[in-house]
């Protein structure tokens, strides 16, 4: 049987060849937009990498600024400064507080999106020692923030009022803080409130709060608990006798 002759016309209409030609034509048509989008994607990746690097760099700088500020906060104060002392050291508390304030202010100013709130808070706690009125303004502003730092600022503000004899203002701030304490221990708030009530001559209110703090077994042996027991013993020794006993802690575990 004779083989069928393959003509030029039959090759022209070969399905495989047609598909090849169509695919080739399509790729030629699409090569320009593919190159365009490929370039845009590459550019986007480069920009994303640059942004990531920049943010990482800024974050590291912000952390470094805070670390530097905390070096001042933790600095030794001694006059004379001991020979061989390591780290920062100052001969007066005033110098230390001013340097720490400046360092925290710089950290807040240079990196507000990273350090703003917390750096301003620490700056204000140091500023209280040499510019208390200005520090009070900052603490009042920060205390409006519904954050952990906001709660800490309210505590510092209430203590400022307490130390300057503005007892009603102090009570108002302590009550606000007690309603939203975040990580501020409520026993600490109660102890301060008891001190304020005592200063106002409201003995019964003070005794009730001292008793509540002193009767908290988890805090009895801490400095907070000891202060409450001491004041309670002075103001109402009969209430001190009613305190629940605290079980001794077994250092080896078990009961």
Q: pLDDT for 67-99, tens place per residue? A: 999 999 999 999 999 998 888 999 999 999 999
Residue 18, pLDDT > 90, answer no
| Inside any domain, residue 105 | yes
| Inside any domain, residue 209 | no
Mean pLDDT computed over 243-252: 70
Torsion of CA 159, 160, 164, 169, to 10 degrees: -70
From the number of C-beta atoms within 10 Å of its C-beta (0-12, 13-18, 19+), residue 135 rates as buried
pLDDT of 85: 84
Residue 25, pLDDT > 80, answer no
pLDDT, tens digit, for every residue of 110-161? 999 988 999 999 999 999 999 999 999 999 999 999 999 999 999 999 999 9
Of 202, 206, 180, the C-alpha closest to 193 is 206
Cis (ω within 30 of 0) for the bond into 35? no
User: For the range 139-142, what are the long-range contacts, defined as Cβ-Cβ under 8 Å and sequence gap of 24 or more?
Assistant: 142/117
Tell me the C-alpha distance between 72 and 185, whole Å.
27
pLDDT of 255: 42
Instruction: Quickly tell me which residue has 């501020």 as its tokens.
Output: 184
Residue 243, pLDDT > 80, answer yes
In this structure, of 69-78, 87-96, 179-188, 242-251, the range with the lowest mean pLDDT score is 242-251
| Inside any domain, residue 186 | no
Instruction: Quickly tell me which residue has 């209280």 as its tokens.
Output: 128
pLDDT of 218: 94
pTM: 0.76
| Inside any domain, residue 80 | yes
| Inside any domain, residue 163 | no
| Inside any domain, residue 117 | yes
Q: Do the Cβ atoms of 159 and 151 come closer than 8 Å?
A: no
| Inside any domain, residue 63 | yes
Report the number of distinct structural domains present in the chain. Answer: 1
Tell me the C-alpha distance between 192 and 47, whole Å.
53
pLDDT, tens digit, for every residue of 195-235? 999 999 999 999 999 999 999 999 999 999 999 999 999 99
Domain that holds residue 120: 41-130
DSSP tag of 87 = S
């Amino acid at each position: 049987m004779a083989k069928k002759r393959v003509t030029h016309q039959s090759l022209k209409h070969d399905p495989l060849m047609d598909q090849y030609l169509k695919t080739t034509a399509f790729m030629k048509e699409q090569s320009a937009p593919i190159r365009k989008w490929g370039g845009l994607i590459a550019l986007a990746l480069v920009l994303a990498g640059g942004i990531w690097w920049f943010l990482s760099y800024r974050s590291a700088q912000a952390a470094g600024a805070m670390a530097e500020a905390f070096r001042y906060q933790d600095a030794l104060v001694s006059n004379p400064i001991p020979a061989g002392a390591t780290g920062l050291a100052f001969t007066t508390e005033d110098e230390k507080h001013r340097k720490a304030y400046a360092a925290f202010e710089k950290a807040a100013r240079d990196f507000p999106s990273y350090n703003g709130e917390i750096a301003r808070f620490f700056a204000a706690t140091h500023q209280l020692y040499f510019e208390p009125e200005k520090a009070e303004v900052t603490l009042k502003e920060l205390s409006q923030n519904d954050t952990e730092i906001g709660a800490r600022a309210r505590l510092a503000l209430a203590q400022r009022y307490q130390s300057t004899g503005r007892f009603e203002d102090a009570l108002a701030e302590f009550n606000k803080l007690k309603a939203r304490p975040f990580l501020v221990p409520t026993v600490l708030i109660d102890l301060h409130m008891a001190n304020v009530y005592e200063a106002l001559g409201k003995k019964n209110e003070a005794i009730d709060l001292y008793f509540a703090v002193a009767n908290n077994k988890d805090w009895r042996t801490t400095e907070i608990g000891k202060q409450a027991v001491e004041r309670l013993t002075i103001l109402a020794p009969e209430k001190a006798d009613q305190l629940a006993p605290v079980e001794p802690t077994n250092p080896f575990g078990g009961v």
